[in-house]
């Protein structure tokens, strides 16, 4: 009789462990999918920041170039050259004509 009880107890413990392992695997699969989506978003942000850094490095390396200075003044400060006429449309696009 003792042998039979321990056999049933062993089966119950093994069954509980198998169920726990299955639930853990399903939960882990969900976490992996979430991490993959986040990885994709972070990689996209890294590429954007690398591009921004490259542009800033170019601006720093060429800080004394008049064209770079004019470009920064136009884009960051919204300045225009004397005598330029600026046209705005509804979308915020700016085109200048000398």
How high is the mean pLDDT in each 10-residue block of the chain (98 residues)? 69 93 94 94 96 91 88 86 80 56
Q: What is the rounded end-to-end Cα distance, in angstroms, of the chain?
A: 102
Supply the DSSP symbol for 83.
T
The whole-angstrom separation of Cα 6 and Cα 14 is 12
For residue 65, the SS3 value is: coil
The whole-angstrom separation of Cα 45 and Cα 78 is 26
The whole-angstrom separation of Cα 98 and Cα 71 is 15
pLDDT tens string 62-74: 889 998 888 888 8
């Amino acid at each position: 009789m003792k042998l039979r009880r321990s056999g049933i107890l062993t089966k119950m413990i093994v069954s509980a462990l198998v169920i726990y392992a299955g639930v853990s695997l399903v939960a882990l699969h969900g976490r992996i999918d979430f991490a993959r989506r986040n990885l994709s978003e972070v990689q996209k942000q890294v590429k954007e920041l690398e591009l921004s850094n490259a542009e800033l490095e170019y601006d720093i390396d060429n800080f004394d170039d008049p064209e770079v200075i004019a470009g920064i003044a136009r884009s960051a400060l919204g300045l225009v050259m004397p005598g330029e006429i600026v046209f705005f449309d509804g979308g915020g696009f700016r085109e200048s004509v000398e």
